[in-house]
């Protein structure tokens, strides 16, 4: 259709506005309440509909796109039913601080779709999504729709980034366009910085510290902050440990000192100064009282910077300094304003040398543990990660949705570029399978829209329970239908094994003592993911040892480069209680 087609309905105004805001994709599902909007999508040149077979996957894919593109992703769901189906993915997007605009069609009592009185659902969308969005509204008029869109885009990008949710009335979408000018707004995002006195105090604390250490969790979600963090750590000779929810610090960087637990307080040993970069801990936990703590956060309540953070937030209380700020510009300001005397330079050099020595020891240990598993030809987190790392190609992206194997995989796969790693800090199972193909479209947008089949593949590693919970069949259909080069790797042990520690700690320990794993089994039958993938005409491989994994992954990468998805089903021993 010609770009200058005649606009006849407000639904077309909506889609034209989304395109003018720079959006090329809308992720969603089809439902009876969306006919006018999808009608408009079909005539708007350059904006592509990406169909999912379930709302959960639609929202997850928009989430993956938003994170990998670092811009607002758009999703469309059908009325209250679609909204309810998407709640888990909204929670995941919220914990990932994904800038997302979710649109939902809406019924109003007395205004029936296409004059059909049977086409009606409850219209109370906002009641159920309110805890997980930054802002929501029911658009009531043509003028409000224009203002709501403008506000929604702005809010998604303000720190902490997050979700705007708008409902769109059927009668409003069907309304004839009256010629009102279609306007969009460009926003200036003001950076939040501490005052100069605070900056000076921070600089003095760093220079006067004997053993400072940096802990980072979510900061790498803003890709341009990663380079700043590496320069900051090196300038002041400070080691860095991370929870890898994003690619916040390159593992091979000489200041990297490894990974820390997702929820627990990390071991701070001889540290006397802790610098927390968007790093929360669960309420009821605490760092040792003798530690001096400078806490850099994007919001004081801290609802989103720890695994499964939830609405109660996380806690870093009794710190010497609490700063609500935009981290990257704040670190740049500290580096610029902190003057380092000659004697302090020597202290920093000695500190840096010590960190580098620890880093080199860490990297040797990481290599040794993988080598031992490779020699035994057993599939473990370290051997799987080692094989993938050897076959990894420039520009590839990892979405790590595993739980039990999480850190082992992360320490073996060497990713050094921001925007090449994403995960699921929400604890809600299932979102990685959709995130993966959204990330693929973000990483390959120009080539994909131009029809150039030379792609940077995305690898999604996840457990069998996570995959089946996340409606993997919806994702498999979408990646095949649209030719998206995603490689799904399923860690298949027939169990939600990560849940076993909770049964070990029940009051009476009946389950632990009997070694009854009934409540965590998803075996007998073991889910055959390779056969499921073949049902969608997707290349699939069943892997039982290291050589088979290497061969399958090599083939999968070659296929993904030209837009053919694959699935690798890694068969692991059935979980047994010790």
Quick one: 340 and 431 in the same domain? no
Q: Are 43 and 96 contained in the same domain?
A: yes
Residues 339, 203 share a domain:
yes
pLDDT by residue (tens digit) across 161-211?
999 999 998 889 999 999 888 888 888 888 999 999 999 999 999 999 999
What lies within 8 Å, CB to CB, of 92 at 6+ separation is 60, 63, 424, 426, 428, 431
User: What is the domain range of residue 490?
Assistant: 377-571
Instruction: Measure the CA–CA gap between 330 and 297, rounded to whole angstroms.
Output: 11
pLDDT score recorded for residue 142: 85
Report the number of distinct structural domains present in the chain. Answer: 3
User: What is the predicted pLDDT for the residue at 5?
Assistant: 76
Is residue 366 situated within a structural domain?
no
Residues 140 and 22 in one domain: yes
CB-based contact 271:241 (threshold 8 Å): no
Query: 288-314: buried (b, 16+ CB within 10 Å) or exposed (e) per residue?
Result: eeebbbbbbbbeeebbbbbbebbeebb
Is residue 66 one of the residues assigned to a domain? yes
By the 10 Å C-beta count (0-12 exposed, 13-18 middle, 19+ buried), 233 is classed as buried
Q: Are residues 341 and 397 in the same domain?
A: no
CATH number at residue 390: 3.40.50.970
Residues 306, 445, single domain; the answer is: no
Q: Is 318 left (phi over 0), alpha (psi -120 to 50) or beta?
A: left
Query: Is 461 found in the same domain as 542?
Result: yes
Are residues 161 and 202 both part of a single domain?
no
Kindly report the pTM of this predicted structure.
0.96
Task: Specify if 181 maps to a domain.
Answer: no
Average pLDDT value for the chain:
93
Same domain, 333 and 209: yes
226 and 153 within one domain: no
Q: Does residue 219 sit in the same domain as residue 308?
A: yes
Does the residue 179 lie in any domain? no
pLDDT digits (tens, 9 = 90+) for 31-61: 888 889 999 999 988 899 999 999 999 999 9
Q: Is residue 314 scored above 80 in pLDDT?
A: yes
User: Do residues 63 and 126 share a domain?
Assistant: yes
**pLDDT 10s digits, 401-436:** 999 899 999 999 999 999 999 999 998 899 999 999
């Amino acid at each position: 259709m010609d770009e200058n087609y005649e606009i006849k309905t407000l639904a077309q105004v909506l889609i034209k506005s989304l395109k003018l805001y720079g959006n090329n994709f809308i992720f969603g599902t089809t439902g009876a309440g969306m006919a006018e909007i999808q009608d408009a999508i079909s005539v708007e040149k350059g904006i592509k509909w990406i169909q999912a077979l379930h709302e959960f996957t639609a929202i997850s894919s928009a989430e993956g796109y938003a994170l990998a593109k670092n811009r607002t992703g758009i999703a469309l769901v059908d009325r209250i039913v679609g909204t309810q189906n998407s709640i888990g993915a909204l929670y995941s997007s919220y914990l990932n601080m994904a800038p997302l605009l979710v649109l939902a069609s809406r019924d109003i009592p007395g205004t029936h779709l296409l004059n059909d009185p049977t086409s009606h659902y409850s219209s109370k969308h906002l009641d159920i999504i309110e805890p997980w969005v930054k802002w929501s509204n029911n658009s009531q008029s043509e003028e409000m729709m224009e203002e709501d869109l403008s506000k929604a885009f702005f809010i998604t990008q303000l720190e902490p980034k997050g979700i705007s949710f708008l409902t769109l009335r059927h009668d409003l979408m069907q309304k004839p366009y009256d010629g009102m000018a279609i306007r969009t707004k460009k926003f200036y995002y003001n950076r939040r910085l501490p005052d100069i006195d605070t900056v000076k105090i921070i600089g003095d604390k760093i220079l006067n510290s004997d053993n400072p250490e940096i802990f980072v969790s979510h900061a790498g979600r803003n890709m341009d902050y990663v380079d700043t963090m590496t320069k900051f750590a090196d300038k002041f000779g400070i080691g860095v440990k991370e929870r890898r929810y994003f690619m916040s610090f390159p593992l091979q960087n000489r200041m990297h000192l490894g990974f820390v637990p997702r929820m627990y307080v990390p071991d701070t040993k001889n540290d006397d100064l802790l610098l927390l970069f968007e790093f929360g801990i669960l309420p009821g936990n605490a760092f040792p009282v003798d530690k001096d703590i400078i806490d850099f956060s994007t919001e004081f309540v801290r609802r989103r910077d720890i695994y499964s953070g939830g609405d109660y937030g996380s806690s870093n209380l009794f710190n010497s300094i609490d700063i609500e700020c935009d981290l990257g510009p704040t670190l740049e300001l500290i580096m610029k304003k902190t003057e380092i005397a000659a004697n302090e330079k020597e202290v920093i050099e000695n500190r840096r040398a010590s960190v580098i020595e620890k880093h080199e020891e860490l990297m040797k240990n990481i290599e040794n543990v993988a080598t031992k598993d490779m020699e035994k030809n057993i599939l473990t987190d370290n051997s799987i990660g080692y094989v993938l790392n050897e076959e990894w190609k420039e520009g590839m992206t990892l979405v790590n949705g595993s739980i039990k194997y999480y850190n082992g995989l992360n320490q073996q796969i060497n990713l050094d570029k921001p925007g090449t790693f994403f995960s699921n800090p929400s604890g809600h199972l299932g979102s990685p399978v959709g995130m993966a193909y959204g990330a693929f479209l973000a990483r390959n947008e120009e080539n994909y829209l131009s029809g150039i089949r030379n792609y940077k593949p995305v690898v999604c590693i996840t457990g069998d329970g996570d995959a089946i919970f996340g409606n993997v069949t919806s994702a498999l259909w979408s990646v095949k239908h649209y030719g998206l080069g995603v490689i799904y790797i399923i860690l298949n042990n027939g169990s939600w094994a990560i849940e076993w520690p909770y049964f070990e700690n029940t009051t009476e320990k009946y389950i632990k003592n009997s070694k009854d794993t009934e409540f965590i089994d998803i075996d007998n039958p073991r889910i055959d993911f390779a056969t499921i993938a073949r049902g969608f005409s997707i290349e699939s491989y069943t892997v039982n040892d290291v050589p088979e994994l290497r061969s399958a992954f090599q083939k999968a990468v070659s296929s993904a480069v030209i837009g053919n998805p694959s699935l690798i089903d890694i068969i692991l021993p059935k979980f047994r209680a010790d």
